[in-house]
Chains A and B, each alone.
Chain A
């Protein structure tokens, strides 16, 4: 799992720097932002210029400040979302793989059904049914996100379960729970980590997509997807939608750069293919 060499490449470094920059912005938005993100104190729909480098929206709010404060919403919520997906999906997958039989059948068929729907449509229905709010949007994305982890964890647990040290633990009379926690868990964390890193981008895209549709964050809130949506109404003033969109793009890109590098570093298949240079 040591990969200092693999990380020493432009893609990973670029991704790391961008992600780090966004963390800094999110943490210190109150210090960095030139204006109050909710204050309607500037001329309306002013193009980017001195005093408001990203322009202002139709209510005279500073877009730069709103984009910065948006990081405080989107980034922690996305991380929380992925963490919850890992937890829920991982737990269900582990139970499924460990106990097998009808437990496995029930959980995995359910996962299949969720997979049968396009993510946005399912999440949209769930979000609409729960009522539009950012918290419900997170729940909706969670509903569509967990099966991926359940599948991966189940597969890994099935593989590990048959190994000798797990079997011998059971023979020694350790409880199922104990062997799941002590023997199985440490062996599945690596691959799950890769999946989760790659998933941060997807989760943010989905979450901001729901807000864009009006099923997530509510108006004054400086959520990026909702900001793009408000830009649709005044798309003549391109800056209203452009900058929050770029914010989403850069965050997603940063995590995809990191995740892609991580996958290359951990995926034995790719590694093997690189070794055997054939054509």
Chain B
């Protein structure tokens, strides 16, 4: 739950293996990507194992959670239910069956909805991605801007103000903020639309990506688009507050660190305009640690969706995860774990690629 320390902007990540003046025969970027994807696959197998072990070795009994009192009293029904869900086989075999299913795109059937888990996830994942994506965009834009301002105005009023504000941001309980925002903005002031992804009177846009805003724009349905954006703004802002605080603090310290480095002074000695110094000499190196934190922040956004989606009746993975966890719907829980772990891997991959794009030393070593 704590944020690991990102690399310092001036650190040379691969200093030990540096080979001056030599380049690989094949494209270094391609090799870099292949290596990352292989690591990611390995971690993916690990994730299936952990979700599986976690959901099987814990004392909760899925039979009790899913069958009624009367059915539980009948051993035949219990046994039949266990066979139906493959729970009568030894655990290693269950895991291998599960793994084979995953590879074939079969995540099992939800014991709650009686639908394939994959279908359930296909419905809920885009909703959450839209919400979390909007929140991370807001966080990065606002957080980086705040952090830069705080660093450049260090120890002045705006720096102190931003420090207090960002600490507030990371201290507010998300679920309470969601409730308060809903109460004030919707119930009292009526400036925000209510719960859900669009106004109840509207039909969702034709399914392309599953992101209502994007789909509505693609279909040219501007009334649906504005409704979807309106419904997205409040929960996204609520979610973003924590990550804005986080990114403000990290950007500030990263920028301060870079400001003290030699190359910035050398850049100023070259007489470059202040704008170029700020973006090319200060912000670019400072973005390396900021990107790490933004990637981790996305994880905390996914956490936040569980709490925010409940309040705003947002039909996303958070709600689905909550329902499946409380009913011990094992296939659904494993499906969520897989999706969430997969998102984490993709985010990590994006972060690594961005590293390589920003810092040639990563790409070329």
Contacts and interface: CB of A to CB of B under 8 A. Distances in A.
Q: A and B touching (C-beta < 8 Å)?
A: yes
B1 A148 contact: yes
A260 B167 contact: yes
A129 B253 contact: no
Chain B residues touching A, majority SS: helix
Interface stretch (A28-36, A41-49, A169-177, A193-201): A193-201
Contacts of A126: 54, 58
Name the interface size band of chain A.
Answer: 35 or more
Contacts of B32: none
Nearest to B182: A235
Interface in A245-267: 245, 248-249, 252-253, 256-257, 260
Contacts of A203: 1
A252 B152 contact: no
B259 A278 contact: yes
Contact of B307 (A120, A148, A248): A120
A88 interface: no
B340 interface: yes
Contacts of B171: 201, 205, 249, 252-253, 256
B164 A144 contact: no
Interface string B273-303: 0000100001000000000000000011011
Contacts of B173: 205, 208-209, 212, 225, 228, 245, 248-249, 252
B164 A11 contact: yes
Contacts of A231: 179
A129 B58 contact: yes
A214 B325 CA distance: 11
A41 B50 CA distance: 49
A209 B1 contact: no
A213 B179 contact: no
B237 to A, nearest CB: 17
Interface in A174-188: none
Interface string B1-23: 11011001000000000000000
B326 interface: yes
Q: Which of A126, A205, A257, A275 is most buried by chain B, counting CB atoms within 10 A of its CB?
A: A205
Contacts of B300: 118-119
Contact of A278 (B2, B183, B260): B260
Given A11-B163, A120-B306, A274 B256 contact: yes
Contacts of B77: none
Contacts of A199: 1-2
A120 B55 contact: no
B59 A129 contact: yes
A242 interface: yes
Interface string A140-154: 010011001001100
Contact of B175 (A124, A228, A242): A228
B206 interface: no
Given A144-B1, A201-B171, A121 B303 contact: yes
A157 interface: no
Interface stretch (A90-98, A109-117, A159-167): A109-117
Interface in B125-183: 152, 154, 163-164, 167-168, 170-177, 179-180, 182-183
A119 B1 contact: yes
A205 B264 CA distance: 40
A138 interface: no
Nearest to A228: B176
Contacts of B299: 117-119
A116 B322 contact: no
A242 B180 contact: yes
A112 B58 contact: no
Contacts of B54: 125-126, 129
Contacts of A116: 43, 46-47, 341, 344-345
Contacts of B340: 117-118, 121
Name the interface size band of chain B.
Answer: 35 or more
A39 interface: no
Contacts of B187: 235-236
A109 B328 CA distance: 26
A232 interface: yes
A131 B58 CA distance: 10
Nearest to A120: B303
B350 to A, nearest CB: 15
B333 interface: yes
Nearest to B345: A116
B257 interface: yes
Interface in B51-82: 54-55, 58-60
B328 A117 contact: no
B198 interface: no
10 contacts: A118-B344, A127-B325, A131-B59, A152-B4, A242-B180, A260-B249, A270-B253, A272-B260, A273-B256, A279-B264
Interface of B: 1-2, 4-5, 8, 43, 46-47, 50, 54-55, 58-60, 152, 154, 163-164, 167-168, 170-177, 179-180, 182-183, 187, 249, 253, 256-257, 259-260, 264-265, 277, 282, 299-300, 302-304, 306-307, 310-311, 318, 321-322, 325-326, 328, 333, 336-337, 340-341, 344-345
Interface of A: 11, 109, 112-114, 116-121, 124-131, 141, 144-145, 148, 151-152, 195, 198-199, 201-203, 205-206, 208-209, 212-215, 225, 228-229, 231-232, 235-236, 238, 241-242, 244-245, 248-249, 252-253, 256-257, 260, 269-270, 272-276, 278-279
Given A209-B174, A253-B167, 16 more contacts: A116-B345, A117-B341, A118-B303, A120-B306, A121-B303, A121-B318, A121-B337, A125-B55, A199-B1, A203-B1, A212-B175, A244-B176, A260-B163, A273-B260, A279-B152, A279-B264
